[in-house]
Amino acid sequence: MGWWWKSNCLGGSEESAIHPELTSLPGERVVLKHRYSAFYNTNLETVLRCLNVKDVVVSGIMTNLCCESTARDAYFRDHRVFIPAEGTGTINEEMHVASLLNLAFGFAFVCTVDRLVAQVRDGGSPSDFS
């Protein structure tokens, strides 16, 4: 993506590193992406299918680029998509809200982190959202 972002989006740079508090647990899979969508030209779809995953929670940066692209691709692959509104962010509130509105209109359940965690903690599944 260097042709668009020049030197702002470089794999292996400090800015692209996974925050230590979010690092994977032993045995967890890590899918490295090189486009906005985590599905594009990666093995994410195969991994999710092999694990029989139906629900996908999308968080990260940028709401209007990576998160929205991944959420739409997950929906197109028949996953139920959940986006915690405060679990994504972008360069300004207007773009953030616009993306969440677009996604909530037909691609994803937009919720809060607290609601999502409570649903799972209480024995429910994200797919129990209505």
Domains of the chain (ranges plus CATH)?
A: 2-128 (3.40.50.850)
The pTM is what? 0.86
Q: Which residue intervals of the chain are DSSP H helices?
A: 2-5, 44-50, 68-76, 93-104, 113-121
* Opening angle at CA 79, ends 75 and 83, nearest 5: 70
**Tell me, what's the pLDDT at 112?**
94
**Tell me, what's the pLDDT at 105?**
96
Of the candidates 14, 44, 45, the one whose C-alpha atom is nearest the C-alpha of residue 29 is 44
pLDDT band at 6 (very low <50, low <70, confident <90, very high): low
Of the candidates 119, 51, 52, the one whose C-alpha atom is nearest the C-alpha of residue 84 is 119
Q: Is the pLDDT of residue 15 over 90?
A: no
Q: What is the pLDDT of residues 41-70, one digit of tens each?
A: 999 999 999 999 999 999 998 999 999 999
**Tell me, what's the pLDDT at 95?**
95
